[in-house]
Amino acid sequence: MRRLLFLSLGVLTLMVLATPARADEQVDQGRGLFELHCVSCHGVDAQGDVGPSLTGVGAAMADFQLRTGRMPMSDYRTQAVRKPSPFTDEQIQALVAYVASLGEGTPIPTVNAAAGDISNGGSIFRTNCAGCHGSAGRGEALSYGRIAPDLYQATPLEVAEAVRVGPSQMPVFAQLSDQEVDDVVAYVGSLQSDANPGGLSLGRIGPVPEGLVAWLVGLGLLVVAVRLIERKAT
């Protein structure tokens, strides 16, 4: 029994000692990837050059930008848009670990969409997000040629990260509790999975296209019906 106890303590000690070493190795791997792919914009040691300094940016911002493919950019003068990431999941984790090591910042949030209240999330979304992303999350044009992207490809974690760090022109919604963030995530998920029971979605951008189609189709059918009746009458 004592031998088993000593063996268990030895294994636990090795696990504790190995964890910092693995973390250091991940940071070193991230630094190497950074020097290959990011240093031309963010500068040596991520202190900034044509791109901003990453000191204190935190893991959440780095994870969001890398997982959505917004970074790296080919032209820093344009708006970063979603695209396939050139990095593997392991490489993203390493880069995030390196950026997080540069200073305190917003950590990657914990998300539980299943615990979210869709109704409350919809209310929060319409109050804070619909002005840019549209009431149905389809995205809208902003000033100076910028756009608020649609949310139909965003994962629950990406939505939560964006709320917490405010990428691009988006503000940081620090006033929202973790539960409210889960509510918003649940609501965005409901937009992504909504069916179109009426037929065509018409872009889900509101009543204007629906009214236009009603007028054009309804009025067109009415004109056709009037002409047919006129022919029969003559």
Average pLDDT, rounded, for the chain: 86
Phi and psi at residue 148, in whole multiples of 5°? -95, 120
Q: Helix 118-128 crosses helix 178-193 at what angle (to 10 degrees)? A: 90
In the 8-state DSSP scheme, what is residue 103? S
* Single-letter code of the amino acid located at 13: T
Q: How many CA atoms lie within 13 A of 140 on its CB side?
A: 15
Per-domain residue ranges for the chain? Answer: 19-107, 109-195
The three-point CA angle 104-158-53 to 5° equals: 35
User: What letter does residue 147 receive in the DSSP assignment?
Assistant: E
Nearest CA among 47, 36, 121 for reference residue 72:
36
**Where are the strands (E) in the chain, listed by range?**
140-141, 147-148
Query: Average pLDDT in the 179-200 region?
Result: 84
Same fold, 19-107 and 109-195: yes
What is the torsional sign of CA 140, 142, 144, 147? negative
CATH topology of domain 109-195: Cytochrome Bc1 Complex; Chain D, domain 2 (1.10.760)
Neighbours of 215 (CB within 10 A): 10
**pTM score above 0.85:** no
135 CB-side CA count, 13 A: 6
Tens-place pLDDT, residues 63-92:
999 999 999 998 888 899 999 999 999 999
Contacts of 61 by beta carbon, 8 Å cutoff, 6+ apart: 99, 105, 106, 161, 165, 167
- C-alpha distances (whole Å) from 47 to each of 4, 43, 76, 134, 159 are 51, 6, 16, 36, 27
Q: What is the pLDDT of residues 113-162, one digit of tens each?
A: 999 999 999 999 999 999 999 988 989 888 888 899 999 999 999 999 99
Cα 206 from Cα 16, distance rounded (Å): 55
Kind plus residue range of the DSSP H or E element containing 13: helix 2-37
Which residues have C-beta within 8 Å of that of residue 213, sequence separation ≥ 6?
202
Confidence of residue 215 (pLDDT cuts 50, 70, 90): confident
Specify the fold of 19-107: Cytochrome Bc1 Complex; Chain D, domain 2 (1.10.760)
Q: Pick the residue with more confidence: 21 or 6? A: 21
Please check the confidence at residue 6 and state whether its pLDDT lies above 70: no
**Range of weakest confidence among 23-27, 30-34, 126-130, 191-195:** 191-195
Q: What pLDDT shows up at residue 45? A: 86
CA 147 to chain centre: 14
Question: Which region among 33-47, 78-92, 152-166, 206-220 has the lowest average model confidence (pLDDT)?
Answer: 206-220
Residues in the chain, total = 234
